[in-house]
Structure formats: structure tokens, C-alpha cells
Amino acid sequence: MDNIKPETCRYGVEASLEIIVGKWKPIILLHLLHGGTKRFGELKRMLPDITQKMLTTQLRELEEQEIIMRKVYPEVPPRVEYSVTEYGRGLYDILQQMHEWGIAHLEYMAKKNSR
Amino acid sequence: MDNIKPETCRYGVEASLEIIVGKWKPIILLHLLHGGTKRFGELKRMLPDITQKMLTTQLRELEEQEIIMRKVYPEVPPRVEYSVTEYGRGLYDILQQMHEWGIAHLEYMAKKNSR
DNA sequence: CAGTATCCCGGCCGATACTG
DNA sequence: CAGTATCGGCCGGGATACTG
């Protein structure tokens, strides 16, 4: 990590973390990145263990950061669709790398614990 | 995010997060990655706002995951040195990307709020 | 110098019930 | 269908004091 000061890096890293940290945020993002636009109910079904309240709050927070877009169709019954913004797609590489390193780490720790 | 299932990615991403999430972990890692081996007191001085207890616990957790190494010199007064393991260096790319995306995000949000 | 030991608070998150 | 409202528990993290 040459020619980069920790004090400088820190803020960027923490800003990124603030976005993806949240019990359900990574998996919500992965679903939207992978499957495209989804309705509230679809997401709810894809995440069987999440409560409606948590799904709502996590989505609202991601929306506030402009990582996802919320589109409301004025129909009855209501329809609301969520999708990742162009801007939010920039998180793809980070999530991808975290995925790869994380899997390797899980295997490393598993092997270690089996010794 | 083609040909990768969210359910599969999820675990890797969360495993990575479990390591770098912690109020002081990113900056501790950045300091050790950037400045190499450091003593407990050096780190404490570099992070003026951290309490001794927090520094200890964050270091212990990173050590448990084998991201950093703790070396104790049997001297009086005691000397303890911390360094990033070869294995832990694999986090470099992730932190680097989070830094870049995060800085861009901060600027994006700053510009937005100034409109 | 490099830690422990206690005490304590705020906020994330879950359970549950209600609604336009 | 897609949300709010309310209550409550857990635990990450801080303040402070003590120690081999």
C-alpha cells in the first residue's frame, strides 16, 4: 500500500462500508444485481427470514444513498419495483472481490480447524 | 453479476465483512499494511481516539482470523509487535477498491447536496 | 508498556400487530 | 401488496480504573 496514507484511505473505506454493512444489504444487492428489477414481494419471498420492517428499512437506506431506485406504480393493489442504479453497479467489483476472498477465507479457516 | 448465484456469493461477502467490520479495523489494517510492523503503543499513538481496551480487542479479533500476527518479546518492559500476515495481505485489493469507490461516493453525495 | 476488569449506553435488529 | 407503528433484547463500543 505504497504512497497512500492510512488517514486518507480510511474515509473512503468507511464510506463504502457504511453502504454495504447492514444485515441484509449484501444479499439484497446481490439479488438485484443478479436478477434485475424486483418487486417488494419478490424480494420478500427470496429472503424468507427477513421481516417486512427490515426489508423496508434496508431498502430505504440503500435508496437514500442512491444505490437502488424505487419506482412506485399508482395502481391498486400497489406495485413497487426496486432496481440497482447505474451508479450502484459500481459496487459490483467490490462485492465480487469480497465474495472471492471470503470464500477462500472460509476454506482456509475450515482446513485450519480440521487439523 | 452473471452466472453467480446471490445465495452463493452471500457467504463469501459476509465472511469478508466479518473481518473488516469493526470501528477500528480498517484503519488498523491500513496502518499495518502501509507502515509495516508496529508496536502496541505506536498504534495507540497513531489512533489518538481509540481506548486501550478497544485497541486490544480489535487486534485480538484480527489475530484470531489470522489477518495479523502478534509477536511478544519476553522483555521488561514488555514489547509486543503486530504485523499483517501474508494471508492478510490479500485484503489489500479489497481495501484499495473500497477506498476508491468510497471517495468517489463521498464526492458524488457532496455534489448532490450542494445542488 | 501492554494490557484486564467493570460498568454502562445507544442502536441494530427481531417479533408482532395494524393499515391505505 | 407494500408498507407503518411499537416494544424490547442483544451487543458493539466507550469511560474509567486497575495490574504484571
Confidence of residue B112 (pLDDT cuts 50, 70, 90): confident
- Name the pLDDT band for B113 (thresholds 50, 70, 90): confident
CB of B95 within 8 Å of a chain A CB? The answer is yes
Cα separation of B41 and B38, whole Å? 8
Average pLDDT of chain A is 95
- Please state whether beta strands A68-73 and A79-84 pair in parallel, antiparallel, or not at all (unpaired): antiparallel
Q: Which amino acid is at A69?
A: M
Average pLDDT over residues A49-63: 98
Q: Which of B98, B93, B86, B32 is nearest to A100 (CA)?
A: B93
> CA of A66: how far to CAs of A19, A87, B34, B45, B109, in Å?
10, 7, 32, 37, 9
**Mean pLDDT along residues A6-27:** 96
Residue B115 has pLDDT above 80, yes or no: no
**For chains A and B, what is the number of CB pairs under 8 angstroms?**
154
Dmax over CA atoms of chain A, in Å, equals: 59
How confident is residue B43, by pLDDT bands cut at 50, 70 and 90? very high
Per-position DSSP letters for B54-70, written without gaps between them: HHHHHHHHHHHTTSEEE
Q: Would you call A9 and B104 a contact, using CB atoms and an 8 Å cutoff?
A: no
Q: How many distinct helices (H) and strands (E) make up chain A? A: 5, 3
Query: Which secondary-structure segment (H or E) carries A97?
Result: helix A91-114
**Chain D bases near protein Cβ (<7 Å):** 1-6, 12-17, 20
Residues with CB under 7 A from strand D: A 39-42, 44, 52-53, 56, 59-60, 70, 72, 77-80; B 21-24, 50-54, 77-78
In the structure, what pLDDT confidence band is assigned to residue B35 with cuts at 50, 70 and 90? very high
What percent of chain A clears pLDDT 90, i.e. is strictly above it? 90
DSSP secondary structure of B95-107 = HHHHHHHHHHHHH
The per-residue pLDDT for B3 is 58
Q: What is the pLDDT of residue A4?
A: 74
Instruction: Give the model's pLDDT for residue B13.
Output: 98
Question: Which three cell numbers mark A34?
Answer: 443478479
pLDDT of residue A106: 96
For residues B13-27, average pLDDT: 98
- pLDDT the model gives residue A7: 87
* Contact in structure between A94 and B97 (CB atoms under 8 Å): yes
